Amino acid sequence: MAEQFNYNSLFSANSRDTAPGNVRHSKYDFAVAYPDPANLPLEELIESVRAGFEREGRDLAYYSSPSGDPELRKLVAEKLARERNMNVTADDMVLTSGSGEAIGILIQALTDPGDVVLVEEFVYLGTLNQMRRYGADVVGVKCDDDGIIPEDLDSVITEQIGKGNNVKYLYTIPAFQNPLGWTMSLERRKQVLEVTGKHGIPIFEDDCYADLRFEGEDVTSFHSLDDTGRVVYAGSFSKIIAPGMRMGYLVAPKPVIARAWSFKSGGAVSQFTALAIAELMKGGLEHHIEVQNRALAAKRDAMVAALGENFGSAVEWTVPQGGLYCWVKFPEGTDLAAVQEEIFQEGVSYYNGSQFSPTGEGSNYVRLCFGHPSVETIHEGVAEFARILDRKKVFPG
């Protein structure tokens, strides 16, 4: 084979070795936050593509509006007004390649190396990674079952300001938090708004799980509780249709969008996908979400039952009213990070708590995702997980 050209001396100073790895699946996959392939609305999507093409297919000959399909933005704005009480129009948002891109460009627009950014004490690792990548000093705030603890938030901010640090924003996942599973109560949201307001700090609300409620009452969005433009908001179609759609959105005041936009590359999002989603929103999306949530409720029940059957009282877990995750606590000192790869090789995958922690603490926790496997697989997989932990004597059960 010919000697390969060497780029090493040519890479820019900002580039990093971050080649996308392949996602690895195990037999019992409780790690990935994917929907169940069996429940995707494929027929409805095929019909939506057809309807979208009949309506506007020939417009694919042009580059679409830089902010993304106006019709889809209008439909999203109407949904947010209806369901999240948000006073927004199509002009207040841009479509992004999943909410991951919305998060990435907003972080870049608001973060200089060394800035402090606040997050819940355990937080979605995609966001954590992006914050670290742009040099943020990520600081966790303590939480309980109602969400962020306002007193801790206040003292963390005061301490950071006291050290002369620049506290830039609070990033929160208030509905079915990833990985903790709770939904922040209305009272807490008001308190968190008050505390951050006192210090002049904006809130970045990542609401990608809001539609995945299968029990209890919705809590209104942070965005709806503020009329000063201090809350920016990201949403996604990944959890209500599929991550492969790569469609999300960022809602923010125009100057913030303008700054974030300067980091977007590749132009507008795919108009092909936008057409399909717009048609699905006019047709079967709501019904699909209801069907999916019924399936998720059964899977949550299966996971909770299986944990009860296979783990003793030394282990505790949350019972979320929506979303995709049970957060499981093992006795202090248990190290589920050390055995994660071995257990993956034996067929069970999970993420351990330290992966979600700004400080790297929490390896006695695991996040188990019940969205992807079937009810039967959940029962088998949790039993297998317990057997492996027992055999390896990972903790005194």
Ligand X SMILES: Cc1ncc(COP(=O)(O)O)c(C=O)c1O
CB of 178 to ligand X, least distance (A): 4
Nearer to ligand X, 102 or 389 (CB): 102
Q: Contact 280/45 with Cβ under 8 angstroms? A: yes
Nearer of residues 170 and 389 to ligand X, judged by Cβ? 170
Nearest distance from residue 23's CB to ligand X, in Å?
12
Residue with Cβ nearer ligand X (100 or 395) = 100
Indicate the Cα dihedral angle 117, 317, 150, 77, nearest 10°. 70
What stretches of the chain show up as alpha helix (H) in DSSP?
A: 42-56, 70-84, 98-110, 125-133, 150-162, 186-198, 254-261, 271-282, 285-310, 340-345, 375-391
| Residue 234, CB-side half-sphere exposure with 13 Å CA sphere | 27
**Residue from 177, 150, 210, 215 nearest 327 by CA:** 177
**Measuring CA to CA, which residue among 358, 378, 327, 300 is closest to residue 117?**
358
Min dist. Cβ of residue 102 to ligand X (A): 8
Q: Is 236 or 377 the residue whose CB approaches ligand X more closely?
A: 236
Tell the smallest beta-carbon distance from residue 352 to ligand X (Å).
Answer: 16
Closest to ligand X by CB, 109 or 389: 109
We find the least distance from the C-beta atom of residue 311 to ligand X, in angstroms, to be 25
In the complex with ligand X, the residue whose CB is nearer, 22 or 313, is 22
Question: Whole-number minimum distance, CB 129 to ligand X, in Å?
Answer: 11
Which residue type occupies 73?
R
CA 200 to chain centre: 25
Q: Residue 121 has which token pair?
A: 């004490």
Residues of the shown chain interacting with ligand X in the complex, contacts defined by CB under 6 A: 33, 98-100, 124, 126, 173, 178, 206, 208, 236, 238, 243, 248
Strand 316-317 to 231-236 pairing: unpaired
Which residue lies nearer to ligand X by CB, 222 or 311?
222
Supply the minimum distance, in Å, between the C-beta of residue 24 and ligand X: 16
Structure tokens at 221: 């969005």
Strands of 351-352's sheet in order across: 316-317, 325-329, 365-369, 351-352
Cα separations (Å) of 131 from 1, 206, 207, 386?
41, 14, 18, 34
| C-beta of residue 174 within 8 angstroms of C-beta of residue 219 | yes
The residue (of 92 and 206) whose beta carbon lies closer to ligand X is 206
Q: How far is the CB of 175 from ligand X (least distance, A)?
A: 9
Amino acid letter for position 156: V
